[in-house]
Amino acid sequence: MLSAWGMALLQALLYPALAPLLIGWVRKVKARLNNRRGASVLQPYRDLRKLLAKETRVAHTASPLFRLAPYVVFVATWLAAATVPLVARDLPTAQIADIIVLVGLLGLARFFLALAGMDVGTAFGGMGASREMMVSSLAEPAMLVAVFTLAMSAHSTSLSSVIGYHLADGFVVRPSYLFAFGALVLVALAESGRIPVDNPTTHLELTMIHEGMLLEYTGRHLALMELAAYLKLMLYGVLIANVFVPWGIGQAFAPAALALGLGAILLKLAVLGAALAVGETVVAKMRLFRAPAFLNLALLLALLGLLSHVILEVGA
Amino acid sequence: MNMHPALSLALLALTLALASALVALPAARWPRALRWASLPLLGLSGVAASGAGLWALVEGLDLGLVLPLGLPWLPWHLQLDALAGFFLALIGILVTAAGIYGPAYVRGLENGRESLAALGGFSGLFVAGMLLVVLAADAFVFMVAWELMSLASYFLVAFHHDNPANRRAAFLYLLMAHVGGLAILLGFGVLAAFAGGFEFTLLREAALSTSWASLCFALVLLGFGMKAGLVPLHAWLPEAHPVAPSHISALMSGAMLKVAVYGFVRVVFDLIGQFHWQWGVVMLAVGSLSALTGVLFAMMQSDLKRLLAYSSVENLGIIFIALGLAVLFMATGHPTLAALAFVAALYHAINHALFKGLLFLGAGAVLHSTHERDLEQMGGLLRRMPWTGLFFLIGCVAISALPPLNGFVSEWLTFQAALQAWQLDSGVLRSLIPIVSAVLALTGALVAATFVKVYGVAFLGQARSRHVRRARAVPLGMRWGQGLLALFCVLLGVLPTQVIALLDPVAVAVVGTGLPQAAAGGWLWLTPVSAETASYSAPLSILLLALIAGAAILWARRGRVRRVRRCDPWDCGLTPPTPRMQYSAAAFAQPIRRVFALAFAIDERKPAATDTRPRYRLRIADRAWSLLYVPLAQAVESAARRVVLLQSGNVRVYLGWTLATLLVLLWIIS
Amino acid sequence: MSLTQLPLLEQFVLLQAALVLFLSFGLLSQTRLLAAIHAFAWQGALIAAVTLTVAIAGHAHHLYFSALLTLALKAMLIPWMLHRLVRRLALERHTETLSHPALVSMAAVALVIFSYWVVVPIVAEELTFTRNIVAVSLAVVLIGLLMLVARQQAVAQVLGFMSMENGLFLAAVSATAGMPLVVELGVAFDVLVAMVLFGVFFFQIRDSIDSLDVDRLNRLTETEEETP
């Protein structure tokens, strides 16, 4: 029991330790694809360290909520991440929160992020908050239906059980998983603010969503917000990798299994990160009002996954 | 007579509410009577009611009482069982909060022209009516209490009667309440015809055929659905709820809508006692429609109280989704799952009562302090009214179904119930239920967007008008009233296993089984079905949230410069931002308005580029009016025009009609 | 019966059937003509792949031929002809505006559930793994019809019509391991002829009304209407 909690703690610490690396990796691959050399993969760590050392400034017009929000956003995102099995499957933290709670925790983080965007009272913050809430309100049903598809086959909403069920079955071709995979990828792109819904590198005020809400943040507040965004990307990556390709994840707390699990997840994330970089290089950002069509596609995929589960996989 | 103390407590609550109405009468001459006597008595009545209700819940009582009142051959039957106890407690908590909040609030009304005696008197009668509906054990008392509640609340809606729009809202409310009351009466009539009496004990025994039972179901769905504001019968709700004084709005949205839920549960689950999956599907459809329509229209409102009223439509939709799931699971022979869905519905009922009450009280505090209901004029209230701001934030997080507060728990339970659809045999139901839960997810996300808008526009940013800039903190009583409800929101979010243990006897009494496995893993873990299926630990997530927050603060403040320096916001190097540059409420809602344009009747006038005094006008009308109400009204009117032909003005013609009617009647009798 | 007990090949058939359904949705909501034609070609290729998989799984040799025929006809020839038509009609850049794309695709989801509801009692007795594909095929047919209703562009309507035929073929292959070869050849020939006729009609329509918008083909009506 104690070792399990120890493992859970260790894994929870691995998330913030690895998340900047993933971002650095994606940026590096992207730079290479653009024929640039790009910054080192460790650059995000340096950015965070620099932000922490800098002075924090807060607008005159900001309320106490503005200073509270980075902590809420970061903490909620981290707790959400801690419930997703990373290197080992059977964690006590996965019992605290099932996948619906995970969506809820991310919702809590988003709620405070959007409020913080509206707090200072500039137009950009409001714009970012409004757009973020539109995107998320369309992405959330798609995400939940995709998750329900998985949960309906595994008869459980606990991530450990879903992964365990999938592992126990061996290799089965499931149309529903394919559709759910597609839906979750689209949702992950939209929710973690990547191309084609949002552009993480832009600072052109009229097109940004996530950056718009962070515009007033500096110093350690910004560091927390940025790290939360990194965590969110990694969370979605791990979720997709470990649910759809669970092989390699540690089934026991033996050192060998854990080492294998760590290696496997690093490999999976490297592949996913590279795929993301390729995708972002090939595809252009779309107009804001194309985003509903994009998310509608995600919802459609999720619904098709659900229906193909009911119609094709179970039978009446 | 040897009466159980819980029942005497309930009767005491009833008496206190009536006394509160009585002592308010001198308020016409001495306005203080309302503040010093009537409202405190109302609060005490709430305390007594919640005490009695909790007593019944904890001990799982089932008490009956016959009062020698009413008609000679039909004395009043009262009862206090677990179901009644739950709703009694729910109403009691809200009435207590309103009693604490009210005195400071009505002080703001003392200089107005409205009659305070009417306010106090009808408030007392209104509360007494609600309590009596819940305590009623025969159809006669139930209907009397129901009408008492409806009529008293009509006068409360019409309280600010100087404004013609308010009078219109009140009339619409009265009309709909009576049509609804008629449907309920007919529903009881169907039951009573088979039972041979009006007591609930007799009605319960009535053996109805499927078609009669379905007719009765349709009638009570219509009647209680009208009171509960289900789409498309919701049109009165966003008109009527906002115009009452705020603590009454809180009672109407928080408690009266739940009384409608109580009536529905009592009749369908308890009295009719048979279940058909088609009923469940109808309820799921109506619930989904209400939830989605309610939240979309809430998103579009800029009047704070009207927005909250639309959000009530949405929440009642969620409650009916959960109840529909319960009916469906009962009909297909899964009582444990039905108990899960039923508990989710009850949980959401009390949650909605708490956070909607809290939000209405908060809106009232804003109104009291700024005399403003329009979001477009607000801004920056958090720094001017920090306590109200904090409580309102708790309400917003709770209603947006975000962990770790209470709204999340009930939504999570509803999702868990829906996800057990795989146990059903019918494939079509198996595919329909997850689609309903997709609607629920969409609703939840849109609610979060709506309340980001509300909080962001009203409490954050800069004040958009002068009177809002001068807002001040509200008196202590109003803060305590909000604080009480906020505390309950937090408690019900953090201790779900205890709350479910309290709800268990209700589920046992109504659907025959409870959720014994919910706390199988100890009080920390909420496991509605089994530990493998799903678990949620609210206390542990709170604990971890706090621990991680501590770690984050320590980590983030390691830097060399700890001080936070104040500076000007970013202005692109141009003019400093003014409050007018902020995103307005309408602007915030614009993307969603565009995506869901189909749902609204939008009338938008943009200024031309050449306008010297540009004005932007936006009106969003409810489609239900043009699709249902206006055609209905026209049909009634044209029918009336036909009948008008009979009216010739000649007395002898009228007498001729009388003669003809008499002849026809005699012919029928013979 | 559950999916995990099926042999891998049959699992693949289910996957391909699900993808066929997905491509029907793609066709329904694709507003660019060329992309829609590509989606149609992919649907044809998938049908061919289903046929091939069924042939391998059931050792039905005549299905090899029919797979080949489907591939040649539906994945190559007809898309190519449509492509050429579109180019000759100068419609490559044509995009159609759907009035309520989300609503139409939700209606299609409802059609899927409906066809499942219709099919379940019919095929309840036969306990073969492919019976549920019949529901998918019916859904593909109904979505094709929905496409005929929802789209105004004549070429898109032809695509809808052709995808209906795909649905029928899918049902035949999965439920009864294919039709007799003669019938299949006949149907293939019919489809081809229909395609040629459509091509001719497109030119006729365009010559007479200068557009391929079928909403403008409403002059032949009984109601009194002022025509300019």
C88 and B CB contact within 8 Å: no
Residue range A143-193, pLDDT digits in tens? 999 998 988 888 888 888 889 888 888 778 888 999 999 999 999 999 998
- Contact check, Cβ <8 Å, C103/B598: yes
B669 sits in which H/E element: helix B651-669
Mean pLDDT of A196-222: 83
CA-wise closest residue to B18 among B96, B125, B119: B125
Say which amino acid occupies B62.
Answer: D
Longest dimension (CA), chain B: 102
CA-wise closest residue to A136 among B318, B448, C100, C101: B448
Report the gap between the CA of C102 and the closest CA in chain B (Å): 10
Rounded to the nearest 5°, which phi and psi values hold at B69?
-120, 175
Q: Mean pLDDT for chain B?
A: 90
Asked if C129 and C14 touch (Cβ cutoff 8 Å), the reply is yes
Strand residue runs (E) in B528-616: 564-567, 600-605
- Contact check, Cβ <8 Å, B592/A148: no
CA-wise closest residue to B275 among B431, B349, B283: B283
| Cβ contacts of C109 on chain B, cutoff 8 Å | 435
| Torsion sign across C-alpha atoms B37, B43, B49, B55 | negative
Asked if B77 and B65 touch (Cβ cutoff 8 Å), the reply is yes
Q: Which residue of A has its CA nearest to C98?
A: A293
Q: Where are the alpha helices (DSSP H) in chain A?
A: 2-33, 43-53, 64-82, 93-96, 99-119, 123-154, 159-169, 175-191, 210-214, 219-244, 255-282, 291-308
| C162 token code pair | 């052709």
Model pLDDT, residue A316: 44
- Contact check, Cβ <8 Å, B431/C113: yes
pLDDT confidence tier of residue C154, bands split at 50, 70 and 90: confident
Size of the A and C interface in Cβ pairs below 8 Å: 73
A272 or B70, which is more confident? Answer: A272
Rounded to the nearest 5°, which phi and psi values hold at A155?
55, 35
Q: What angle do CA A49, A55, A61 make, to 5 degrees?
A: 130
Residue with tokens 């933290």: A93
Rounded to the nearest 5°, which phi and psi values hold at B62?
-145, 90
Size of the A and B interface in Cβ pairs below 8 Å: 284
B566 and A CB contact within 8 Å: yes
Model pLDDT, residue B195: 87
Model pLDDT, residue A205: 64
Model pLDDT, residue C124: 58
Residue range A230-242, pLDDT digits in tens? 999 999 999 999 9
C18 and B CB contact within 8 Å: no
Neighbours of chain A (3+ CB pairs under 8 A): B, C
A252 and C CB contact within 8 Å: no
> For B268, which DSSP code?
I
Model pLDDT, residue C228: 45
Rounded to the nearest 5°, which phi and psi values hold at A134?
-65, -50
HSE-up of residue B447 (Cα within 13 Å, Cβ side): 35
Residue range B597-642, pLDDT digits in tens? 888 888 888 888 888 888 888 888 888 888 888 899 899 999 988 8
- Contact check, Cβ <8 Å, C113/B598: no
> CA B238, CA B298: separation in Å to the nearest integer?
9
Name which of C8, C18, C101 is nearest A312 (Cβ-Cβ): C18
Mutate to test the interface with A, among C15, C98, C136 (most CBs of A within 10 A): C15
| Cβ contacts of A155 on chain C, cutoff 8 Å | none
Q: Where are the alpha helices (DSSP H) in B301-405?
A: 304-331, 335-370, 381-384, 386-399
A285 and B CB contact within 8 Å: no
Number of Cβ within a 10 Å radius of residue A165: 18
CB-neighbour burial class of residue C87 (10 A; exposed 0-12, middle 13-18, buried 19+)? exposed
> CA A256, CA A261: separation in Å to the nearest integer?
8
Q: Show which of residues 101-120 on chain C sit within 8 Å of chain B, judged by CB atoms.
A: 103, 109, 113, 116-117, 120
- Contact check, Cβ <8 Å, B432/C113: yes
B399 and A CB contact within 8 Å: no
| Cβ contacts of C25 on chain A, cutoff 8 Å | 300, 304
Asked if C91 and A286 touch (Cβ cutoff 8 Å), the reply is no
> CA A142, CA C58: separation in Å to the nearest integer?
37
Model pLDDT, residue C1: 47
Q: Which residue of B has its CA nearest to A218?
A: B564
Name which of C103, C109, C116 is nearest B427 (Cβ-Cβ): C116
- Contact check, Cβ <8 Å, A293/C101: yes
A256 and C CB contact within 8 Å: no
Asked if C60 and C130 touch (Cβ cutoff 8 Å), the reply is no
Q: What is the 3-state secondary structure (H, E, C) of chain C?
A: CCHHHCCHHHHHHHHHHHHHHHHHHHHHHCCEHHHHHHHHHHHHHHHHHHHHHHHHHHCCHHHHHHHHHHHHHHHHHHHHHHHHHHHHCCCCCCECCCCCHHHHHHHHHHHHHHHHHHHHHHCCCCCCCCHHHHHHHHHHHHHHHHHHHHCCEHHHHHHHHHHHHHHHHHHHHHHHCCCCHHHHHHHHHHHHHHHHHHHHHHHHHHHHHCCCEHHHCCCCCCCCCCCC
- Contact check, Cβ <8 Å, A288/B408: no
Q: Which residue of A has its CA nearest to C135?
A: A311
Rg of chain A in Å (alpha carbons): 19
Mean pLDDT of B364-370: 93
CA-wise closest residue to C107 among C66, C142, C154, C65: C142
- Contact check, Cβ <8 Å, A173/C11: yes
B86 and A CB contact within 8 Å: no
B597 and A CB contact within 8 Å: no
> Does residue C114 have a pLDDT over 60?
yes
> Does residue C41 have a pLDDT over 80?
yes
Name which of B427, B525, B569 is nearest A120 (Cβ-Cβ): B569
Report the gap between the CA of B439 and the closest CA in chain C (Å): 12
Percentage of chain C surpassing pLDDT 70? 85
Report the gap between the CA of C196 and the closest CA in chain A (Å): 34
C122 and B CB contact within 8 Å: no
Residue with tokens 């659905």: B225
Residue range A121-134, pLDDT digits in tens? 888 899 999 999 99
Q: What is the total residue count of chain B?
A: 670
Residue range B12-54, pLDDT digits in tens? 999 999 999 999 988 888 888 888 899 999 999 999 999 999 9
> Does residue A110 have a pLDDT over 80?
yes
C1 and A CB contact within 8 Å: yes
A313 and C CB contact within 8 Å: yes
Q: What angle do CA B460, B466, B468 make, to 5 degrees?
A: 40
Report the gap between the CA of A296 and the closest CA in chain C (Å): 7
> Does residue C223 have a pLDDT over 70?
no
Asked if B418 and B434 touch (Cβ cutoff 8 Å), the reply is yes
> CA C27, CA B258: separation in Å to the nearest integer?
47
Model pLDDT, residue A255: 85
Name which of B400, B421, B553 is nearest A71 (Cβ-Cβ): B553
- Contact check, Cβ <8 Å, C18/A178: yes
Residues of B with a Cβ under 8 Å from any C Cβ are: 427-428, 431-432, 435, 598
A307 and C CB contact within 8 Å: yes
Model pLDDT, residue B217: 95
Min mean pLDDT across A27-36, B562-571, C104-113 is at B562-571
Residue range A39-61, pLDDT digits in tens? 999 999 999 999 988 888 999 88
> Does residue C126 have a pLDDT over 80?
no
What's the CA dihedral at C137, C138, C144, C150 to 10 degrees?
A: -140
Neighbours of chain C (3+ CB pairs under 8 A): A, B
Rounded to the nearest 5°, which phi and psi values hold at B288?
-65, -45
Asked if B224 and B334 touch (Cβ cutoff 8 Å), the reply is no
- Contact check, Cβ <8 Å, C132/A311: yes
